Structure 1
Amino acid sequence: MKTPVPVPPSKYGTGKEALLRAAVEVVAAKGLRGLTYRSVAEAAGVNNTLVAHHFGSRDALIAAALDWAAEQSISASKLREAAALGHSFTESLLDLLLAEPELQVFQYEMILEARRRPELAGAVSALYENYVSALAEGLAASGLNRNVEVVARTLFASLDGLVLQYLAGVDRALIAASLEEVHAVLLFRIGAGTQS
């Protein structure tokens, strides 16, 4: 009788979150075309039927992973804590990029895929709205009381572009200097917005 080969423990932990982490890593490494139940299961160290059990379809897995990746990024980057804007604004964003670049790569993969697969457009739109909403909450808590949504969307566009540049290989020091400039403009805008 053949002894079953034990499955190594997952480096992602257990449960649904482990599968979402694995899905993000697979897409970041192989692109969306590399995302299969089997590839996610192998990355998570589980049987591929578990992936099907939790998500039911590949598209449901993609949507759940996109929501999860956005929440992880928002939380790790402290976008909601914009009320305490300081040096940590730049450092927390850079730390996020250094610690978990696959979260960002995964999201950009999904954004590009949505151009080819219109059924992903709603999930990508929700991704952007989650970021803008988190920034708007922080800006409102900081005292900005005019055009909060517009300022949040503009700020996120700057951050989004800088993150993409960083992932494309632009020097970290240049990105940090640009983030500091975005921060200075934001502080000025908040100051001007609270004086009305």
Structure 2
Amino acid sequence: MTSQPRKLPYGDGRDALLAAVISVVAEKGLRGVTYRSVGSRAGVNHALVTHHFGSLDGLLAATMEWAVHRSIEETGLEGLADFDESFADALINSVAAEPELQLFQFEMILESRRNPEIREMVSRLYQNYVRTVEQALVKKGVDTRNEVSLAAFAALDGLMLQFLTISDTTRIKPAVVQVGRMLAKLQQPG
């Protein structure tokens, strides 16, 4: 009788390790990320970290890229230009469903202040987000000159940080909708 391979709690192989990093950081912060803690959380031998990523820095860089990609997909950030309550609901619900994904990114942002290697990762994180917002706004006919995309993302980013820390949907949702209203006023007549 052949035994079935053990199913990892976060997926298989590489993705399991990436998800494990996010989980460890949400619980212990970046200082808690070790080969052993990640391997243990993923349910695999910690030697797989070096096999897949070479180093903890490589693991953090890959996790950052993975987290940003997932976050953009799951928050519906591309739908920002819809300027409506359904966008606000989708954004808040996605962050509420997987807060660790956002917490990891905020931890990396704060650590980038002390670590120049992480600073480059954070710079790419912001570039990805702002580019996504800009593409959504341009599709809707918003003039994105004068850093409108950066301002829109910064507003949403700050609101999601507040949501993660104080969890007051009754204040955060109307504020997200207000960001949409302000952006709608910038639409070019079509």
Report the equivalent of 2:72.
Answer: 74
Question: Within 2, Cα distance between the matches of 1:146 and 1:79?
Answer: 16
TM-score by length of 1: 0.89
| Farther off after superposition, 9-18 or 33-42 | 9-18
| C-alpha separation in 1, matches of 2:129 and 2:74 | 12
Give the corresponding residue for 1:179.
176
- 1:195 aligns with 189
Amino acid in the other structure paired with 1:169 = I
Percent identical residues:
45
Q: In the comparison of the two structures, how many residue pairs are matched?
A: 187
Q: Aligned ranges for residues 84-103 of structure 1 at < 5 Å?
A: 84-103=82-101
Instruction: Report the secondary structure of 1:164's partner residue.
Output: helix
1:146 CA displacement: 4.5
Query: Residues 145 and 177 (structure 1 numbering): CA distance in 2 closer, same or farther, change over 3 Å?
Result: closer
Counterpart residue type for residue 13 of structure 1? G
Q: Aligned to 1:195, what secondary structure does the other structure show?
A: coil
| Runs of 4+ with deviation above 3 angstroms | 82-85
Q: Are the aligned partners of 1:10 and 1:45 in contact in 2 as well (CA < 8 Å)? A: yes
2:21 maps to a residue whose letter is A
Residues 148-178 of structure 1: per-residue CA shift (max 9 Å, x gap): x711100011011111111111411101111
Alignment match, 1:166: 163
Aligned partner of residue 168 in structure 1, secondary structure: helix
> Partners of 2:132 and 2:24 in 1: how far apart?
27
Report if the CA contact (8 A) 2:17-2:38 is conserved: yes
Worse overlay, 49-58 or 81-90: 81-90
Q: Could you say which residue in structure 2 is the equivalent of 1:4? A: none
* 1:8 CA displacement: 6.0
Unpaired runs of 5+ residues, structure 1, are 1-6
Taking only aligned residues, the RMSD between alpha carbons, in angstroms, comes to 1.9
Q: Secondary structure at the match of 2:166?
A: coil
Partner of 2:46: 48
Q: Which residue among 36, 39, 60 is the counterpart of 1:38?
A: 36
How many Å separate the matches in 2 of 1:178 and 1:195?
A: 25
- Residue 136 of structure 1 and its aligned partner are, at CA, apart by 0.6
**Which SS does the other structure have where 2:127 is aligned?**
helix
Aligned to 2:106: 108
**Distance (Å, rounded) in 2 between the aligned partners of 1:48 and 1:187:** 49
Q: Name the aligned partner's letter for residue 58 of structure 2.
A: A
In structure 2, what is the equivalent of residue 125 of structure 1? Answer: 123
